[in-house]
Structure 1
């Protein structure tokens, strides 16, 4: 199974300004009322179609090493955020360490505030860059903010046990899929205001199944100035507007989608969907012109699709570089028309062997020799054909 995806980098706002603004300062997501031009977009996906080798789809790649020192041994990179000339990296291992690199891969510093104190994080669920600060959602407890040196700035207490949280307007959007809001309300998506009081309730569900679903990736993501929501057991992406959640994208798996209208959400659906070899979740990264989408039906049954948003054409991707070897990578996100992944350094040579020399380049300061002598993963920015 491809490693699951994430993102983070950042750094300095004047702390004086931050303190003046206080914890009420959130990342502003623009209010919008209308559905984007063209309305709801639907894309047909066929898990049975022939897969195309990823090397046949690559136009070019750019490679950035992540400097390895005694202080910067990275097991994996799943989340990268960019701020000014820096990258902020969170390891998906959730050991609590946040790494700061330059955009060309030099290690700058790191910090770890893991703990049980009010200025620490016991276990984060998701994180984001917010006005030059790192915002961290600590499951069911609070949103803490830190500067890029790891200094605690402030926090907002949260009364709901949301799966994921993301700044929205002057408050937050909360993913409450399959859990109660305020002990009795059944809505998958709610928003709270700047005082953390319930504001909007959206996307009602009928039955609480009595279990928490596994969520593999932050259900909130942004594109341009808009905020979008996709929980793991849905085939529909919603665009959050001022007063509603508007269907924006539908992933149409036809008969291969498990959750038909008559299917109940109950704890054994994982087993049932795998036995029937049906799709029950999707992970997506939406860019300006393309979408990268992933699902799996179980071991050795991964499905990755590249979707052209204009033509609606989808291509099933084969990430194997030999019959028995698959690239070990994490998807990160789209940046313009390039798709960023992190790749195990030992796999990079195998990838380059299948590309022409003019198809790949290195950022300033990166060399293949340094990458081959390092255990740190590398960042690979892919431009598809």
Structure 2
């Protein structure tokens, strides 16, 4: 397998790219360009208030998936289940160290009539009914030296990203494939060393409507299509010198990387959300701020977004995922007024036949499903 020196220079992680692979998309992202007001490019928003009860108190949501009854919002050790209009259904809360308990929630999803929960620390995959009843616990059979991170169903089994507890390793085991019983059936290794900083923000996998599964490595500029035999280059972002890992010296050790994250001007992580038409970005800067952007894949136009409240302070909003050509996002209910004041009444709808005054003082966040112009 030959290495393209041009592509080698583009990628921070020094991933090997076969010359025989098809062309992939490449975008230059300039975070210093003119900013576009988020509200100016919104066509319509569905607002879903999340019912607040003693059992459904939530932080700002950063994960979400659909179920036949509505949707689920996984958080650190719980999965909250809601109906379509935001009415609370129940919570899956089975954390602990027992035989049928889990230490953490690495990933979760709905599949074949069950909510499935993967705990990398407990080496378990559990299946629950929509009423929260545990139906099955599957214990991992892959190597005990592997700590599982983000997982996703793949073909007749699963694929997951191992978390490497040894940053001084000279090679990275990038993906592990299992069957339905968590027997390891394959893996993909990368010849380049893993990033020394043990950061794992954001989701690693995105399933497109085309059925293609996208994988994004930790602290990297590229994304890949997943195959059982190899990773096919899918797209690459060139963030320029604002990407602090552009300087290879910053990855020489965990100490140097840590110093770069908090000491250098620029950003150290980017969380993209992929769809066939758009890609949104959340940039994590070394000064502990975040900024956002959106890319129109049809025109290759990139827009830095201005997401501010009426008092000019930053409006806290999490971009979660794309669903049916809308971006699912989460924000605090107390800040909803800043959205509504910038939209016409025909540009939004509130689920559940509610008005803003009905949930104005709720401590739970709201979900937004945003359609862009």
State yes or no: 1:153 paired with 2:144.
no
CA distance in 1, matches of 2:132, 2:359: 28
**Aligned residue number for residue 216 of structure 1:** 201
The CA deviation string for residues 233-281 of structure 1, in whole angstroms up to 9 with x for no partner, is 1110110023210110111112333334844352121322543323332
Note the 1:81-120 alignment, pairs <5 A: 81-91=65-75, 94=76, 96-120=77-101
Per-residue deviation at 1:189? 2.0
State yes or no: 1:369 paired with 2:354.
no
Question: Contact conserved, 2:223 with 2:234, CA < 8 A, in 1?
Answer: yes
State yes or no: 1:289 paired with 2:277.
yes
State yes or no: 1:47 paired with 2:31.
yes
Note the 1:31-70 alignment, pairs <5 A: 39-70=23-54
CA distance in 2, matches of 1:204, 1:365: 52
Question: Contact conserved, 1:162 with 1:175, CA < 8 A, in 2?
Answer: yes
The CA deviation string for residues 282-301 of structure 1, in whole angstroms up to 9 with x for no partner, is 21111121011111222354
Question: 1:212–1:277: structure 2 CA closer, same or farther, 3 Å change rule?
Answer: closer
State yes or no: 1:275 paired with 2:263.
yes
**Aligned residue number for residue 139 of structure 1:** 120
Question: Contact conserved, 1:291 with 1:307, CA < 8 A, in 2?
Answer: yes
**Aligned residue number for residue 17 of structure 2:** none
Per-residue deviation at 1:208? 5.9
Question: Contact conserved, 2:267 with 2:286, CA < 8 A, in 1?
Answer: no
The CA deviation string for residues 133-162 of structure 1, in whole angstroms up to 9 with x for no partner, is 122221232222222222222233233212
RMSD over aligned CA atoms reads 2.6
1:338 corresponds, among 303, 326, 332, to: 326
Per-residue deviation at 1:63? 1.1
CA distance in 1, matches of 2:104, 2:258: 26
Segments ≥4 residues shifted beyond 4 Å:
177-180
State yes or no: 1:352 paired with 2:340.
yes
State yes or no: 1:315 paired with 2:303.
yes
Question: Contact conserved, 1:113 with 1:150, CA < 8 A, in 2?
Answer: no
CA distance in 2, matches of 1:276, 1:76: 28
Question: Contact conserved, 2:333 with 2:362, CA < 8 A, in 1?
Answer: yes
Question: 1:202–1:280: structure 2 CA closer, same or farther, 3 Å change rule?
Answer: farther
CA distance in 2, matches of 1:208, 1:354: 44
What is the aligned residue count?
345
CA distance in 2, matches of 1:157, 1:175: 17
TM-score (norm 1): 0.81
Per-residue deviation at 1:203? 4.4
**Aligned residue number for residue 31 of structure 1:** none
Question: 1:85–1:134: structure 2 CA closer, same or farther, 3 Å change rule?
Answer: closer
Question: Contact conserved, 1:232 with 1:282, CA < 8 A, in 2?
Answer: no
**Aligned residue number for residue 193 of structure 2:** 207
Aligned residue for 2:160, secondary structure, equals strand
Question: Contact conserved, 2:262 with 2:287, CA < 8 A, in 1?
Answer: no
